[in-house]
Chain A
């Protein structure tokens, strides 16, 4: 899933390791999320949102559009 984690992290001047430490995960996890190779669990996504002070859906971009029921 596309995400803006790297932008948010670099805007704060943090390294991957520093962000990993703040979130209590490994640097590899942060790297895998940033490179779209891993979608984090809901608790970790919520923690990221809390840490950056933004909504989850402004970090992770999902292009899915719900059906309106009119089709």
Chain B
């Protein structure tokens, strides 16, 4: 029998949080600075050849999912930042000494970062798919870095939090796999049988992300977390 890992200790937590926040702030500052300079002096390096009217249906859904992830991230961040918001979202909390808020705020904070990373990955992928003349290699390495950070945070959440959250993650992954597996088999069968059903990578990612978000919402609802 394994012992239950304790919830994330306070030590190192604030240092990690500060580092991630600083990195995110500088990343956003850098991106918008380059974008502003690009637009101001009319180089159009970043937005060169970009044509939103040519965006595929998968691209539009990817933007919608990114928007939803961003909204979820902002809500999660608001809960992590303010005890009053936390108490409003969790009215069943009996003890109002703030201990519960202190215990849970890092979970909400890291979940928000995860949602922001997913949103950024989807936006980058969509922009890269419609921006043929753009900096594709830079987009590729940015997506790799963001995905690495997202995976590291997910692994950290898995190890630091208790069995309810691991159960939510397990159920979400299982539901996503069952649905995606069904779709993949149908697609493979159609392709093998010569029905010429083809999907571009963005469509596959959007389908997986959409199913994952819906599954997560359903599982959280069942466990009384929403």
Contact = CB atoms under 8 A, between A and B. Distances in A.
A24 B99 contact: no
A52 interface: no
Contact of A24 (B6, B92, B100, B225): B6
Given A17-B100, A24-B4, A24-B6, A29 B163 contact: yes
Interface range on chain B (Cβ under 8 Å from partner)? 20 to 34
B90 to A, nearest CB: 8
B224 interface: yes
B107 to A, nearest CB: 8
Contact of A31 (B3, B6, B107, B224): B224
Nearest to A43: B1
A38 B162 contact: no
Contacts of B164: 25-26, 28-29, 32, 38
A18 B224 contact: no
Nearest to B165: A26
Interface string A25-44: 11111011001011011111
Given A29-B163, A38-B223, A44-B163, A17 B7 contact: no
A31 B226 CA distance: 13
A15 interface: yes
Contacts of A38: 164, 167, 223-224
B28 interface: no
Given A26-B104, A26-B164, A28-B104, A35 B224 contact: yes
A16 interface: yes
Nearest to A36: B224
B95 A15 contact: yes
A15 B100 CA distance: 11
A40 B224 contact: no
A33 B4 CA distance: 16
B95 to A, nearest CB: 4
B49 interface: no
Contacts of A40: 163
Contacts of A25: 4, 7, 162-164
Interface of B: 1-4, 6-7, 92-95, 99-100, 103-104, 107, 161-165, 167, 222-225
Sort A-B residue pairs by CB-CB distance and give the 3 closest, nearest first.
A29-B164, A37-B224, A25-B162
Interface of A: 15-18, 20-21, 23-29, 31-32, 35, 37-38, 40-44, 47
15 contacts: A15-B95, A16-B94, A17-B99, A20-B103, A24-B7, A25-B164, A26-B7, A26-B104, A26-B107, A28-B225, A29-B162, A32-B224, A38-B164, A38-B167, A43-B4
